[in-house]
Amino acid sequence: MSQTSRILNIELHDFWHVGTGEGRGSGDDSIVKLKNGLPYLPGRELKGILKVTAQCLESWGHITQGDTERLFGNQGNNPAKIQITGAELDKNDAEYLRGLDKYDPTCRALFDSLSSTAINYESGNATNQSLRSMEIVIPCVLQAEITCEEKDSKTIFDFLERLLPLTRAIGASRNRGLGRCTMTF
């Protein structure tokens, strides 16, 4: 079967964090990176965010009941109709950065750390042992590829076009100000 694909552009307007899930003992959480040390947004994360957006539209009655499952599949016998690659920096930026040592100040400037702590509202002091930090990535533009069967492509890409403007943030703490984004084809 013939397949067709489109490039998904993800413009991140704020710091963002998609963690590895492997804390380093002090509550720190490092981000997912490629082997060359560049930021990476897994396709599984992207697909999940788009699926949540579709589920919201479906629950509000804006799309036909069952469309989400037909497009994104389920854990049973219904495979997804789309495949999404992980998102990376565009090829020009990535090629330039790959030529640098990962300890080069330019490469290191892609990442920062964000710390927070719990406050005891009665005393106004920090709660003991509540300091947490996470590695974050600076705002940037990432690209991923979405692929589907050519015979279904018009319907699928039209459907995804409706989802993209409603997908406003990605990653951890997206409801607390991190990861604001704009997605377009």
Mean pLDDT over 4-25 rounds to 85
Do residues 139 and 12 lie in contact, with contact meaning Cβ atoms separated by under 8 Å?
yes
Q: What is the model's pLDDT at position 117? A: 83
Report the C-alpha gap between 93 and 110 in whole angstroms.
12
User: Do residues 15 and 138 lie in contact, with contact meaning Cβ atoms separated by under 8 Å?
Assistant: yes
Nearest to 63 by CA among 154, 171, 161, 178: 161
Q: Quick check: helix, strand or coil at residue 89?
A: strand
Instruction: Identify the bridge partners of residue 98 per DSSP, sorted by sequence position.
Output: none
Strand partners, 146: 6, 84
DSSP output for 91-134: HHHHHHHHTS-TTSHHHHTTEEEEEE--B-TTT-SBPTT--EEE
- Fold of the domain spanning 3-184: Alpha-Beta Plaits (3.30.70)
C-alpha 72: how far from its chain's center? Answer: 16
Tokens of 49: 């965010």
Using CB atoms within 10 Å of the CB of residue 6, give its burial: 0 to 12 exposed, 13 to 18 middle, 19+ buried: middle
pLDDT at 22 over 80: no
User: Per-residue pLDDT for 46 more than 60?
Assistant: yes
118-158 per-position pLDDT tens digit: 888 888 888 888 887 888 999 999 999 999 998 989 999 99
The whole model's pTM is what?
Answer: 0.85
**What are the extents of the domains in the chain?**
3-184
